[in-house]
Every structure is written in structure tokens, then in C-alpha cells.
Chains A and B, each alone.
Chain A
Amino acid sequence: EPEVTQTPSHQVTQMGQEVILRCVPISNHLYFYWYRQILGQKVEFLVSFYNNEISEKSEIFDDQFSVERPDGSNFTLKIRSTKLEDSAMYFCASRSGTVGSPLHFGNGTRLTVT
């Protein structure tokens, strides 16, 4: 069964550094999302992406965050200048264009900012 893949599985970075989290969504899916989950807390929406543009973003998704779909297969999340509070699991998800379709999640990237 097709799956969403994320790399790396774990990223350690120093505060102030830029990180890029990578995702390969399921190939025929049209809608793409990034969520994050701080340890022990709820899954929080960051951004949704459709037709090569952001369709919705949350308050968390400030100017330090950006997303790209550079080549039609990869979907990336960039954090320009990481802060300690950015430490979390970051999940990429995709869904097809069918109404009521579920989100298919990757296994996440654990980002640790020191």
C-alpha cells in the first residue's frame, strides 16, 4: 500500500539554525499538510497546501516557516531560525481529492533544538 515517507526520522539542530524537513506524499494525492506534536501534547495543524499554494495556515505557522513542493513529488517544511520551542514531532500528511477521504500520515520527523 502506498505510504507517506518522511526524512530524516530525527533531526538535531542548534537554536537559530535553519532546518528542512522532507516528505514524499502519496503520488496521486492532491492535498498536503504539515502537523506537529509537542511531546505529550495534541496534534496541531500547521499548514495545508493545494494546487501549489498554501490554502490555510495556523497561528503557529509564522514568518519563520515556509513550505514548498519543488518538483511535484517532494513536499518540504523549512524553519528558518529554529527556537527551542520548535522541538516536536513534525508529521506530513496527504489526502486524495475524494470527499471524506482520510489523511495519510508519515511516521514523522523528531526535531530537537538545543
Chain B
Amino acid sequence: TQLLEQSPQFLSIQEGENLTVYCNSSSVFSSLQWYRQEPGEGPVLLVTVVTGGEVKKLKRLTFQFGDARKDSSLHITAAQPGDTGLYLCAGEKNTGFQKLVFGTGTRLLVSP
């Protein structure tokens, strides 16, 4: 079973603070995607990382794929209330369009 454990499960911070969410597995993934999910909606893709050690930036969000392609992190700088939501990592074992395995999720609440 390809388990993706995310930590922390829940994070409540003040506007302006920085935070890091971790996504860890014992399995190697060919790619890893980060999604954000709002209440009552489906997950929406934020980024895809493919190469071990890869770092991608999306405005105040920085995503990193571990060298061994088993783990990933999401760092948010100067969090804003609009960042509130459920953050999900999802790994794909091969590039044959197999299923994505989703992580356990991190629920972020940013208060003004």
C-alpha cells in the first residue's frame, strides 16, 4: 500500500506567519502533485513536481520534491486568510496514467 502521510494534520496560524506542510512516504513516486480543496468543491491542482530535488515556486508557495522522490514539502510565506483550505499531496507511481494516491491532508486555517 502506497501511504502518503501528511503533517501536521491541522494548522491554525495568524496572518503573516510562515508554515511548512510535509508529505512523507516509504514509496518512490514518479511524480507528486499538490492540490488544494475548498469546502464543497473538488481538489484543484497547485503544482506537479517530477525530478528529485526539484523546487517550484508559485507566488508565496514553495514546493520541494525530495531527492529520493519519497517526500515533498509545501512552504507558505506570509500566509493570508485566503490560503485557508485543505492541502493534499498526491503521488503517482509510474507515468502510465495510473491512479493518484492522496495523502492524509493538512487543514490550514489562517486568521486575520
Contact B102 A95 (CB under 8 A): no
> Which residues A9-65 have CB closer than 8 A to chain B?
30-31, 33, 35, 42-45, 48, 50, 55-56, 58
Report B36-79 CB contacts with A as 1/0, cut-off 8 Å: 00001111110010100000000000000000000000000000
Number of interface residues of A (CB under 8 A): 27
The secondary structure that dominates the B interface is loop
Complex contacts, A55 vs chain B, CB 8 Å:
97-98
Query: In which size bucket is the chain B interface?
Result: 20 to 34
Is B100 in contact with chain A by the CB < 8 A criterion?
yes
Chain A residue with Cβ nearest B40: A107
Q: How far is the CA of A47 from the CA of B98 in the complex (A)?
A: 10
Q: How far is the CA of A64 from the CA of B25 in the complex (A)?
A: 31
- A48-B98, A56-B99, A100-B31 given; A93·B42 CB < 8 A: yes
Q: How far is the CA of A83 from the CA of B3 in the complex (A)?
A: 26
